[in-house]
């Protein structure tokens, strides 16, 4: 089997395995996207005025840990996004992550006052999960954002313990599950930078807030939470 991580083999891989949409598995006409036009249409964009956007943003800002938030899609069960996110996390689809990251990067450029004073901080995976998956989907998103914005990636946020999957947990349980689960090594100096915390999906915001709490102690100018999608 060919490795998905070797770009030189990509044309050969696409010859043997024609370009199929990661969501519906139909042949894609546009080779530049891993998602077909029909599936793109089924993914709902989210705007700052939407209720879910406002509620999630307010929740994060109320923690006192996060200063601003940006996300581009709403995580709806009906559309293609759940499959796309699943492939991003578990399907070995790092190229899909870069594509989604570029999308997020374009929106970030419109929202940031001074990209040159920012750092991209991926939400870390525990080393056990990293070994299982082979890559951190948040880091892959950061690579796509960096291509568009030229903002450097700073992977100094670490997960200190293994946390169980948040999927079936209530908001309170999620907070408990991730409490104290992240840290930044003591010798890291953030020096007044704006930190852009990057995750795939923000649901209750418990993980985001806990990551931001760990970053706060190191003197960032601002913490800007961002994700591909918000889930209710």
Give the residue with the Cβ less far from Zn ion, 20 or 52. 20
Segment 50 to 89, residues that bind Zn ion, using CB under 5 A: none
Give the residue with the Cβ less far from Zn ion, 19 or 115. 19
Give the residue with the Cβ less far from Zn ion, 13 or 24. 24
Q: Does residue 24 touch Zn ion according to CB under 5 A?
A: yes
Q: Does residue 36 touch Zn ion according to CB under 5 A?
A: yes
Q: Which of 125, 18, 25, 8 is nearest to 84 (CA)?
A: 25
194: part of which helix (H) or strand (E)? strand 194-202
> Which of the ranges 15-23, 48-56, 154-162, 182-190 carries the binding residues for Zn ion, by CB under 5 A?
15-23
What number of residues does the chain have?
232
Q: What residues have CB less than 8 Å from 1, skipping those under 6 apart?
A: none
- What 3-state class would DSSP assign to 149? helix
Q: Which of 156, 48, 147 is nearest to 97 (CA)?
A: 147
Give the residue with the Cβ less far from Zn ion, 39 or 196. 39
Q: Does residue 109 touch Zn ion according to CB under 5 A?
A: no
Report the interface residues with Zn ion, using CB under 5 A: 21, 23-24, 36, 39
């Amino acid at each position: 089997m060919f490795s998905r991580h070797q770009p030189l083999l990509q044309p050969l891989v696409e010859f043997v395995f024609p370009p199929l949409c990661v969501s519906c598995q139909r042949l894609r006409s546009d080779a530049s996207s891993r998602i077909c036009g029909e599936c793109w249409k089924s993914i709902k964009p989210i705007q700052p005025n939407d209720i879910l956007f406002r509620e999630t943003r307010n929740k994060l800002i109320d923690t006192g840990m996060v200063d601003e938030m940006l996300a581009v899609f709403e995580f709806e069960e009906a559309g293609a996004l759940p499959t796309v996110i699943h492939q991003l996390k578990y399907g070995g689809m790092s190229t899909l992550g870069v594509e989604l990251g570029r999308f997020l990067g374009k929106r970030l450029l419109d929202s940031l006052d001074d990209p040159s004073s920012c750092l991209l901080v991926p939400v870390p995976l525990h080393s056990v999960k990293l070994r299982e998956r082979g890559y951190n989907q948040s880091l892959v998103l950061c690579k796509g954002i960096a291509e568009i914005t030229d903002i450097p990636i700073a992977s100094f946020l670490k997960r200190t313990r293994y946390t169980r999957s948040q999927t079936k947990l209530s908001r309170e349980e999620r907070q408990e599950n991730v409490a104290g689960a992240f840290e930044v090594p003591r010798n890291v100096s953030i020096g007044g930078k704006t930190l852009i915390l990057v995750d795939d999906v923000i649901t209750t915001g418990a993980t985001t807030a806990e990551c931001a709490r760990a970053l706060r102690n190191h003197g960032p100018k601002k913490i800007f939470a961002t994700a591909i999608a918000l889930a209710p």
